[in-house]
C-alpha cells in the first residue's frame, strides 16, 4: 500500500506541540511535504511525470528544474487565479521549509512560523480539493 502523505500533516501537528526546536523545525518541514506531495501527484497526473532528464518523445515544461520548482511552476504558470495562488502558496511554504531545514540561526518567531505553516498546509488541502479538475493543464 502506498504511503499516505496526509500522515505528514498529522505528524507536523504532533511535532508542533513539542518544546524542542528540532521538533518545531521538523514540523515545518513535514507540513510542507504534505502539501508538496499532494501537488506533485496532481501536477504529474495532469501535466506529465516529472523527469530530470529530457525525454525526446515528450516535452514537459520546466523539465530541467528541480522537482519542487517544477511542481510549483505547473500551478503558477496558468491563467486560472486559484491554480496560480496554489503555486504561490506552495512556493512560500517551500521557502519556509528551506529556512527551517538549512538555516541554523535562531528564529525568535519559530512558534508563529510553525503555526503559520500548519494552517497553510491545512488550507492548501481545501484549496486543492476546490481546484477545477482540469488544472494544472499541460501547455505547449
How far apart, in whole angstroms, are the C-alpha atoms of residue 19 and residue 105? 17
Mean pLDDT along residues 13-20: 98
Query: Cis bond leading into 136, ω under 30°?
Result: yes
* DSSP per residue, 18-32: SSSHHHHHHHHHHHH
pLDDT digits (tens, 9 = 90+) for 71-116: 999 999 999 999 999 999 999 999 999 999 999 999 999 999 999 9
Give the residue extent of every domain in the chain: 22-48+66-130
Among residues 88, 84, 90, 1, the alpha carbon closest in space to that of 40 is found at 90
- The reported pLDDT for the residue numbered 39 is 98
Q: Are 124 and 38 in contact (CB under 8 A)?
A: yes
> How does residue 66 score in pLDDT terms, banded at 50, 70 and 90?
confident
Amino acid at each position: 500500500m502506498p504511503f499516505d502523505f496526509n500522515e505528514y500533516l498529522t505528524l507536523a501537528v504532533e511535532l508542533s506541540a513539542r518544546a524542542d526546536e528540532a521538533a518545531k523545525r521538523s514540523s515545518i518541514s513535514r507540513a510542507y511535504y504534505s502539501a508538496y506531495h499532494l501537488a506533485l501527484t496532481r501536477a504529474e497526473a495532469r501535466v506529465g511525470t516529472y523527469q530530470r532528464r529530457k525525454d525526446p518523445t515528450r516535452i514537459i515544461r520546466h523539465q530541467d528544474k528541480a522537482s519542487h520548482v517544477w511542481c510549483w511552476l505547473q500551478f503558477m504558470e496558468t491563467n486560472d487565479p486559484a491554480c496560480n495562488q496554489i503555486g504561490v502558496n506552495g512556493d512560500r511554504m517551500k521557502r519556509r521549509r528551506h529556512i527551517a531545514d538549512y538555516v541554523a540561526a535562531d528564529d525568535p518567531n519559530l512558534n508563529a512560523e510553525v503555526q503559520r505553516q500548519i494552517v497553510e498546509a491545512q488550507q492548501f488541502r481545501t484549496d486543492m480539493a476546490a481546484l477545477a479538475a482540469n488544472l494544472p493543464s499541460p501547455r505547449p
